[in-house]
Amino acid sequence: MNNSLQAINLFPSNMTEAQWNDLKGAVNGRTERKPIVAFIIDSPWLPGFSGINTLAYYSSGEKWFNANKKAIETFPDISFLPGFWSEYGMCTEPSAFGSKCIWHESNLPHADKIISDISKIQNVKKPDPRTDGLLPFISQRLLEYQPQIQKLGHNIRFAIARGPLNIASFLMGTTEFMMATIMNPEEIHKLLRVITDFTIDWLQYQKELFPDIDGIFILDDIVGFVGDAECKEFVVPYLTEIFHSFESSIRFFHNDAPGLVSSKYLEKIGVNLFNFSHEHTFDEIIALTGRNITLLGNLPPRDVLAAGSRTDVEDGVREMVQSAGEAQNIVWSCGGGVPPNVSTENIHTFYNTVVNLF
């Protein structure tokens, strides 16, 4: 690999002031002359990694904290996003709208839909993130453990939410939502208006609780399944509002579903850091986003990082780095979040292979 290839320095969302300043500089075009490895980690991977079941991870603040602490101590040279993420999987935002949450000991929870037919959209009211669903528990966990997080030399830097299409798909079902964007666009706009207003409130409330927050992190895989016309109508205007909920230095978007439609609109939306599907190459994404958006990717997370041998990971990382060519503003990662059953050995192999290529 040509040594002129550069990668940005990416740090966890709970980070020191110096690290955060480096990250801000990186997305503004200042790159470090060393490769940086970073992964999105949350409840699909952390419980198994730390030797507990999923329900214990969600229900015990101490076990949640220790799992995240173990990750940053086991891999001191790897950055994790968002870092000490207080969340309840896909139940997080739907719970505020009244979705029934179904819990499993060793699997991710599920949120039941609340919209049985299109006419029910008129009954959906904007939740209050201070009082509704699981959101107060999320806030309280961070408030309770903030001193311990800070004792580790870190701070809370990101406000986090699922995107409006993602939330809508849980409230009414993915197939039903996708069909309604074509058959009932007026009603879908009403639903997305409520969800967007709620999401902005939720992000701003996180910022209110933790003033050091200077980043917005939005996850929405459903964006990857819409066409161009639907993207311009149902994605761009609402995501633009959300990414401008407050003035922030980092605007991070995760969409690891197959699909290139939204990429060309990301700069207009305000995104400056993008995690995308492993099914797309760096060249494809750069051609659509331009060179003003920092990319995070894109080793296959399930088939290589989780299921692959050490040799598979080494070969996959070499191919990934080579595919980036001379591109700058790249953070070496997988094309999505870290899935269940990724071994400590494979993560170390990923990191060591990247470092040895430079």
Q: What is the pLDDT of residues 132-182, one digit of tens each?
A: 999 999 999 999 999 999 998 878 999 999 999 999 999 999 999 999 999
Tell me which residue has tokens 């407050």. Answer: 246
Q: What is the pLDDT of residue 10?
A: 35
Tell me if the pTM is above 0.85. Answer: yes
Residue 328 lies in a domain: yes
What pLDDT does 292 receive? 85
| pLDDT above 80 for 6 | no
Whether the per-residue pLDDT at 266 is higher than 80: the answer is yes
What is the distance between the alpha carbons of residues 23 and 29, in angstroms, rounded to a whole number? 10
Question: What pLDDT is attached to residue 21?
Answer: 64
- Residue 57 maps to a domain: yes
| pLDDT over 70 (residue 115) | yes
> In this structure, is residue 48 part of a structural domain?
yes
3-state secondary structure of 136: helix
Residue 115 forms part of a structural domain: yes
Average pLDDT, integer, range 252-275: 94
Establish if 1 belongs to a structural domain: no
The number of folded domains in the chain is 1
Residues 61-99: tens digit of each pLDDT: 999 999 999 999 999 888 888 989 999 999 999 999 999
Tokens of 296: 């995070």
Separation between Cα atoms, residue 254 and residue 77, nearest integer Å: 22
- For the chain, the first-to-last Cα distance in angstroms comes to 7
On whether residue 7 sits in a domain, the answer given is no
d(CA 264, CA 269): 10
User: pLDDT per residue over 24-55, tens digit each?
Assistant: 666 776 655 567 788 999 999 999 999 999 99
Counting beta carbons within 10 angstroms of the beta carbon of residue 214, is it exposed (0 to 12), middle (13 to 18) or buried (19 or more)? buried
Range 338-346 average pLDDT: 98
6 inside domain:
no
Q: Is the pLDDT score of 120 beyond 60?
A: yes
* Least confident among 126-130, 315-319, 354-358: 354-358
> Has residue 355 got a pLDDT over 50?
yes
Closest CA to 40 of 68, 16, 60, 70: 68
Smallest Cα–Cα separation from 48: which of 58, 57, 60, 38? 57
Domain of residue 282, CATH code? 3.20.20.210
Query: What does the buried/exposed string (b/e) look like for 275-287 if buried means 16 or more CB atoms within 10 Å of the residue's CB?
Result: bbbbebbbeebbe
Q: How confident is the model at residue 5 (pLDDT cuts 50, 70, 90)?
A: very low
Residues 49, 337: Cα–Cα separation, whole Å: 14
> Per-residue pLDDT for 22 more than 90?
no
Q: What is the pLDDT of residue 31?
A: 58
Q: Is 10 contained in some domain? A: no
Domain, as residue range, for 250: 17-356
DSSP state string for 186-242: HHHHHHHHHHHHHHHHHHHHHHHH-TT--EEEEE-GGGGGS-HHHIIIIIHHHHHHH
Per-residue pLDDT band at 16 (split at 50, 70, 90): low
Q: What is the pLDDT of residue 154?
A: 79
Pair type for strands 158-162 and 215-219: parallel
Across the chain, what does the average pLDDT equal?
91
What is the model's pLDDT at position 13?
41
Over residues 218-235, mean pLDDT: 97
